Structure 1
Amino acid sequence: MCGIAGYYGYGEDESLLQQMNACMVHRGPDGEGIYTQGNVGLAHRRLSIIDVAHGQEPMFSADGETVLVYNGEVYNYLALRAELEALGRSFTTNSDTEVVLQAYEQWGDDAFDKFNGMFGFAIHDRRNNRLVLARDHFGIKPLYFATAGTPQAPTLLFGSEIKPLLATGKIAAEVDERILFRYLQFRIHDDESSTFFAGVQKLMPGEKLVLNTVDSEAGPAGTATISKYTRFQEELAELAKIETPYSQAVIDEYKERFTEGVRLRLQSEVPVGTALSGGLDSSAVVVTINKLMAENAAATDSLGAKQQTFSAIFPNSINDEEKYADAVLARCEGNVISHKILPKPGEFVDDLEDFVRTMEEPIISSGPYAQYQVMREASKHVTVLLDGQGADEMMAGYIPYYFAYLRQLKSKGQNAKLAKELVSSSDILFRLARFRIQGMLSFKKEVGVSALLNKKFTAKYKAEKFSNIPDNLKLRLIDDLFHKSLPAVLRYEDKNTMRFSLEGRVPFLDKEVVKFLFSLDDESIIKGGWNKRILRDATRELLPEMISNRRNKIGFTTPEAEWFGHMKEKIYEIFLSTSFGNRPYWNQDAVIYAFEELLSGKSGGSTMVFWRLINTELWLREFFDEPEIKAGIEGKSDYIPNADKQLEITVPNGAGTFRRYPLRTEVFYKETDFDPAVMKYVKRYFDGLPTAGGDHGEATADTPWYLFVSEKIVAMTQGRSIPVWDIKVSNAARIFSKFVTRNPGGIGLASPWSMQLAIDEVGLPKIMYASARSVIGKLQGKSGVFYEVVGNNINAIDGAAGYQVGTSTHSVKYAPIDPDGVAARLSALVRASVPAEFAATFAGTAIMDANDLGVVALGHDTQLTKAVLEDIFRDNPQGQTTETTPMSLVFTQK
């Protein structure tokens, strides 16, 4: 298992290959190699699994004319090697890589269809002047590519991930908005060759890309063609018509084939383990391995003395499957070591950015994070992990498949069988009906994504459609195997395993086992209301009855609905952010209101709607936005202004000139010990004066000076900052907030939350009266009448501001309590803390409500008038975004 990358059309550029390789260290920490010749470049990262001592890549043929970089495992390589040796070929390594290379030399592109495994590789065939890329039959291993250049000088970039392509700087990172729309609207992705990145495509399962490296009859140099190298999908559709009757002999043959498929995937020179969710599929793999170990079967030495299993558990959650996993472990008692991982919502918040980066493209739910956690832990113990992916799509593991089968019986006129199936599956159908009836009786409005999306965006792609094959079970399964369902699951598998340098193997996706399954009667898949019938029967003697007869499916997923309540602070931070509000894909206000309704229980629906929005926003930040300037004390001296601000200001009416030094601080929270925190930064300023240089201190020792403090940090530490989810917004607040002019980041009463606080503070009648007076005032040409009526305490209420930092992003703040008293208290502390010569000239503290729209001095103990204090800060020198400079020292100039 490895990572590959490469190019055509950029000459012999080793630095470009090294740049691509550097993005994939996690895919292959055991080695790397690069190759250039003419216009072709290949790069490889190695995770050593088979023939650890050899098999380095790029690998060259004996004559040096064929060069291979390869990601994956071909499990039937020993049989192919024997076949090639019988044809007179000899081998210098024991690796499957050399088998792939020599198979291509022997059979050309026809070799690819002989491989049973997972692969994405590139071959530079110098003899025939071609570059060949190929992806395995199921698309277990990814292979992305992008064409660029000009018709006269075409180029190609390719890789196991998208990041190496972007890292070259040869293609622009742009959103494929059509794919994004399909994801947001229909909850689908990975169903076609296009990715979420405009211009970046992927080979689909069973496809190859052939590029001419010189002018030839096939076309000019750089001409690339994509085609299938296999009829595998067509073969499955043809086999589906055979419908071999179900029998014990069929069950026995399936068991034998599946067991051999599992055994082949134990071939390794490094430790192998197993993922165990507690569902039928992963449990079947675990008990089959346990049986092979008991029989001392070939290849089981890779497991060590005991099989190691890895399970995600969620105690007391509806998603928890621990009791099922424990039942399987009990069956394997004495031969198994169990590792249980307990993912938590707080960990998810911490890992969120890395998780999004790992996936590279948006995903439909947070469920794969459970797998991410499992893979992280598994990588500490093993290098290869078997998983149960693929069984659902080939054996109707999801409930919608029941309906496809029932419709199929109806369309074929098999009414007697249809009636029997309806009766046999009545418990499933009843459960679904009960959930729907409960939803209707609750009178909760379902949260649909359409109402949350930007109308211009949706109008642009209104022609996009999505549908499933409705009434043919096996054709539906084939469609889902190669387009609608499994490709996304395999992406999660590849990204999560390789993020932690782990090889994931999926024994259900054995080409020959799947062919056999599709040649059987439909009743091998669904019968009597039971799906996965043949798997249940083939493993019944190995599995606990509670697994064999289990109806409900969960799998490796997170309790997303429960987690979202715990994660609301992070989610609001995302939804309230300036970047989220500026996206052209959704309506920010509608999203926030819908999320409020969901959390409060006033509406129903799936959290996956909101996850898609969260995922998209974080994905856009990760791959497209410029990096944000991180808040903190680093990066700005106490003696320089904030960006685009000035130190000095001259106040009109002869009040003088003042120099303002904004002090960068850590973020203040409710728990911050306010007085010592303020003094810490005041003291830091004076401690730094001797080394400040220039005139930073010359005019300050014998002139009056002041401390200006933002009302935000005062209110915050007084507990006057209220998280938006704790504010019960009334209809009146929603209505009145709509009449307030929108302004940057929710300053003032333009949000329902801040308006609600204003109503709570002075009462609805006064708000109504002030609004009426304001309307009359505007007709008379007056401004500010509303706040004259309600008072400066209401003027000082700040809404949740997405561009700010800390809890300010998702909290609404009242005016601070007793700002005059706070000013006097701080002044006494300043005089006791600063050098004596500065204590003598200290002239007091002001508590300021300043933003880019206006300034109000809420309280002070200085000899200056409020008008002068407000003039000193009229240009808001402390900034209003992530500067984290909530206080300033202000010196009168001579």
Structure 2
Amino acid sequence: MCGIIGVACAEGKCPSIDARVLGRLRDRLAHRGPDGAGLLLERNVGLGHRRLAVIDPSAAGQQPMVTPDGAHAIVYNGELYNDAELRAQLRASGVRFASTCDAETLLWALATWGERAIDRLRGMFAFAWHDRIRQRLVLTRDPFGIKPLYYWVGTTGVGLELVFASEIHAILDHPHVPIRPDPLGISAYLSTIRTVLSERTMFEGVRAVRPGQRVEFDLADPAIAQSSHQHDATFEPISTSVRDVIEDAVRRHMRTDVPLCCLLSGGLDSSIIVSVARHHVHGLQTYCAGAPSADADDDLHVSPQVARELGVAHHCVDVPLSVFVQQWPRMVDALGVPLSTPNEVAINAVARRMRADGRVVTLSGEGADELFAGYDQPLGAVRTAFAGSATVTAEQLAQFELAHHSWVAPELKGALFNPAIAEEIEEDEWLFDTTRASFEEALDQSPSMPPEDRAVRAMLGYQRRVNLVGLLGRLDSATMLAAIEGRTPFADRAVQALAESLQTEAMIRWESAQAETKLSLRRAFADVVPPMAIQRAKASFPLPFQAWLEPFGPMLATSEFLGELFSAAAIGTVSVRPAEHWRLAWPMINLAMWGERWWGAHEKRPGLFPGVVEVDARVRISDDGGSQPMHRSPAARSNSGTG
């Protein structure tokens, strides 16, 4: 696992920064790669790499990596889980390898098969490929979006210039990249608690490469013409056995030349992974993090019991209020973006403990809920909403999702935001259109069935396309801050192919008072996973963060950045009772930290939000922690048609 960065401009020109500055930007990603650094700046393209040595830690795996003829160069962040199969095919075509590093496998695959190589990859990846013969630069990510990649294209002193990196703050350190907030990205964050949605980030002009997207830049064109393509997502199931497919995925994810461990919460998903991994790692170590409490069913109490039954050595990491208060602002400062969920603090705490214990790679259970129907409440709610409906459409599903599952519903923002911001977000049209597009993709892949069942399947597809991307990003950012590589065996192309071939009734049963979820997983591993893990209900947050928001109330009241975004009434109400109004307080406190990180000095803020003046739009805060407009906002949408 690594950090990558690069700059490029049209052929015949040179980037606006030299090797010294590019090296400084690269080293902003040092936490992602403490084991080595590489740089290549030739003519119109510069590539930088920070290395976390996991496979073949020798010098043969250093990047940027270039073919012997100089025709192709890459910087790559990820792991290939079908590396052996790809190498066998490439050897058959005459390729001779100089290392056992999967980066070299990728380089030769691209040199041999071109863009078609990307569809053959099974793994997690984000990379930049410079085809020097065709003067093309390609940025791409794996279909799940496990590894991040961002880019900016704009005018510098040399004309148009492309800047890309694994983390946004490295791009923003480029001396010619403007640092401005994106109101549409901020509004999307308030509703979804995601700092990235589709291509949009919270910074104006900085875009994310979407999961499964290939963005190609023509460097032979002075305008650096840009084209976009999606990977071929088809993947034939390797077996119809749930157990066989998942055991194969776990084994593949365990390939490493450095110490490996597992996260173990005591829930079903992590327990399945550990039940397989323990047979392949002698003395397997497992880890869990959470807030100390008297609750006998929390992770810190249950995970040691599951670990004992599985016969692995287990470590619990306490995350008390003091650690939460200290680490939350530090993480926002280090990452340069707000946190998505409070869990990121716990994940980072346990990752730091892993690294202190000499571990480098960890397996985690993200993906099981989104692929095998683990969220009974949203799935049950959409099933009920569409029961008896004649049809189900993407527009109806988008309305339902934003109305029922938003932290801050779009219809409330007309009163929450200052008028100029409310006007700029245009009634959250972009957020609605993006949500609708995700449901359109999900419906396209949903089989013909009654509307309530098709709605469930579409919601499951939406959770994989949107929710899972956010969870994987959370795992990556929180673990890589501690130089730990997080791997997710459930977020795997073969596992996805199997899950999508299953009937809905094989994953979730509705007959009981409380829906039974992930049936196929529970049945497949019932004889090897302890009963307490098989039967344990899904838990959301391992930290009591609602109560822990209280120390941050004064920050809301004094943040000048928030004063430009929100009404004085909203800020005043939430700052006095943040725990009570946690659905507003969590994103607002994050935004306050983020604003201070980038625009804290008064001279940095003029013109950030044109047209903003001090107002006192009246907002009433409801008892459930959400906000209610004193009158219905024009941003409100009808939620008709979902019943």
Which band: TM-score by shorter chain?
Answer: 0.7 to 0.9
Q: Deviations over 1:610-658 (max 9, x none)?
A: 0100000101111232399xxxxxxxxxxxxxxxxxxxxxxxxxxxxxx
Query: In structure 2, how many angstroms separate the alpha carbons of the residues matched to 1:43 and 1:188?
Result: 27
Deviations 1:201-226 (A, max 9, x none): 010011112122224xxxx4622222
- Is residue 264 of structure 1 aligned with residue 252 of structure 2? yes
Query: Does 2:272 match 1:284?
Result: yes
With normalisation by structure 1, the TM-score equals 0.59
Supply the distance in 2 between the matched residues of 1:209 and 1:410 (Cα, whole angstroms). Answer: 42
Determine if contact 1:313/1:342 at 8 Å carries over to the other structure: yes
Q: Secondary structure at the match of 2:490?
A: helix
Q: Deviation of residue 452 (structure 1)?
A: 4.2
Whether 1:231 aligns to 2:232 is: yes
Distance apart, 1:361 and its partner CA = 2.2
Answering whether residue 382 of structure 2 is matched by residue 453 of structure 1, we say no
* CA distance in structure 1 between the aligned counterparts of 2:508 and 2:127, rounded to whole angstroms: 37
Cα 1:492/1:552, change in 2 over 3 Å:
closer
The structure-2 alpha-carbon separation of the partners of 1:459 and 1:106, relative to structure 1 and needing over 3 Å to count, comes to same
Equivalent in the alignment of 2:25:
20
Which residues of 2 match residues 485-884 of structure 1 at below 5 A?
485-528=467-510, 529-554=515-540, 557-564=542-549, 568=550, 570-577=551-558, 579=560, 583-597=563-577, 607-626=582-601
SS of 2:53's equivalent in the other structure is coil
Task: Answer yes or no: is the 8 Å Cα contact 2:4–2:48 preserved in 1.
Answer: yes
Name the CA distance, whole Å, in 1 between partners of 2:335 and 2:378. Answer: 26
- The answer (yes or no) to whether the contact 1:185–1:449 under 8 Å persists in 2 is no
* 1:159 pairs with 2:165: yes
Instruction: Report the equivalent of 2:331.
Output: 355
Is residue 373 of structure 2 the alignment partner of residue 392 of structure 1?
A: no
Contact 2:31 2:483 in 1 (8 A): yes
Q: Which runs of 5+ in 2 are unaligned?
A: 392-411, 440-451, 604-613, 615-643
Is the alpha carbon distance of 1:37 and 1:594 closer, same or farther for their aligned partners in structure 2, counting shifts above 3 Å? closer
Deviation per CA, 1:259-288: give whole Å up to 9, x if none.
010011110000001111222111211112
Equivalent pair of 1:137/1:206 in contact (CA under 8 Å): yes
Paired with 1:580 and 1:221, the residues of 2 have a C-alpha distance of: 36
Task: Give the Cα separation in 1 of the matches to 2:415 and 2:346.
Answer: 30
Contact kept in structure 1, 2:304 and 2:314, CA below 8 Å: no
Cα–Cα, structure 1 residues 70 and 41, in superposed 2: closer, same or farther, change >3 Å?
A: same
Instruction: Tell me, yes or no, if the aligned pair for 2:555 and 2:589 is still in contact at 8 Å.
Output: yes
Secondary structure in 1 matching 2:303: helix
Distance 1:278 1:592, change over 3 A: farther
Is the alpha carbon distance of 1:621 and 1:406 closer, same or farther for their aligned partners in structure 2, counting shifts above 3 Å?
Answer: same
The one of 318, 321, 324 equivalent to 1:342 is 318
Question: Hey, what's the Cα distance between the residues in 2 that align with 1:350 and 1:450?
Answer: 34
Give 1:63 shift.
1.4
Measured in 2, the distance between the counterparts of 1:26 and 1:188 equals 22
Q: CA RMSD in A?
A: 2.8
Is the counterpart of residue 64 in structure 1 residue 70 in structure 2? yes
Structure with more relative contact order (C-alpha pairs < 8 Å, separation 6 or more): 2
Q: Using the alignment, how far apart are the partners of 2:586 and 2:413 within structure 1?
A: 11
Whole-Å separation in 1 of the counterparts to 2:228 and 2:600: 33
Q: Distance in 2 between matches of 1:69 and 1:90?
A: 20
- 2:260 aligned with 1:255: no
Q: Is the 8 A contact 1:317 1:559 kept in 2?
A: no
The amino acid of 1:618's aligned partner reads M
Deviation at 1:391, TM superposition (A): 1.4
Contact 1:3 1:71 in 2 (8 A): yes
Distance in 1 between the 2:288 and 2:73 partners?
A: 40
Contact 1:147 1:154 in 2 (8 A): yes
Aligned length: 554
Deviation at 1:585, TM superposition (A): 1.0
Matched-pair contact (CA < 8 Å) for 2:218–2:225? yes
Q: Deviations over 1:629-688 (max 9, x none)?
A: xxxxxxxxxxxxxxxxxxxxxxxxxxxxxxxxxxxxxxxxxxxxxxxxxxxxxxxxxxxx
Q: Find the partner of 2:307 among 329, 338, 344.
A: 329
- Whether the 8 Å CA contact 1:358–1:495 is kept in 2: the answer is no
Pairing 1:404–2:382 present? yes
- The 1:597/1:36 distance shift into structure 2, 3 A limit, reads closer
Contact 1:277–1:321, Cα closer than 8 Å, also in 2: yes
Question: Could you tell me which residue of structure 1 aligns to residue 224 of structure 2?
Answer: 222
**Alignment partner of 2:178 out of 172, 195, 198:** 172
Partner residue in 1 for 2:610: none
The alignment-based identity, stated in percent, is 31
User: 1:4 aligned to 2:4?
Assistant: yes
Amino acid at match of 2:23: Q
Q: In the TM superposition, what whole-angstrom CA distance separates every residue of 1:875-894 from its partner, at most 9, and x where no partner exists? A: xxxxxxxxxxxxxxxxxxxx
Render the CA deviation track for 1:819-874: whole Å, top value 9, x for unaligned.
Answer: xxxxxxxxxxxxxxxxxxxxxxxxxxxxxxxxxxxxxxxxxxxxxxxxxxxxxxxx
Distance in 2 (alpha carbons) for counterparts of 1:407 and 1:538: 31
Name which of structure 1's ranges 395-404 and 65-74 shifts more when overlaid on structure 2.
395-404
Among 35, 41, 66, the alignment partner of 1:30 is 35
For residue 344 of structure 1, what is the amino acid of its counterpart? P
Distance 1:627 1:536 in 2: 56
The Cα shift of 1:597 comes to: 4.7
Query: Is contact 2:553-2:578 (8 Å) kept?
Result: no
Conservation of the 8 A alpha-carbon contact between 1:364 and 1:608? no
**183-192 or 381-390: which moved more?**
183-192
Which residue does 2:635 correspond to in 1?
none
Q: Are residues 453 and 537 of structure 1, via their aligned partners in 2, closer, same or farther at CA, if it must alter by over 3 Å?
A: same
Deviation of 1:51 (Å) = 0.7
Name the TM-score, length of structure 2 as normaliser. Answer: 0.81
How far apart, CA to CA, are the structure 2 residues paired with 1:514 and 1:409? 27
CA separation of 1:358 and 1:389: change in aligned 2, threshold 3 A: farther
Task: Quickly say closer, same or farther: Cα 1:400–1:32, change in 2 above 3 A.
Answer: same
Paired residue type of 1:34: L
Change in CA separation of 1:288 and 1:207 when aligned onto 2, cut-off 3 Å:
same
| Higher Rg of the two aligned structures | 1
Q: 1:552 to 1:506 in 2, by over 3 A?
A: closer
Amino acid at match of 2:293: N
Q: Which runs of 5+ in 1 are unaligned?
A: 243-248, 294-299, 414-447, 629-742, 744-894
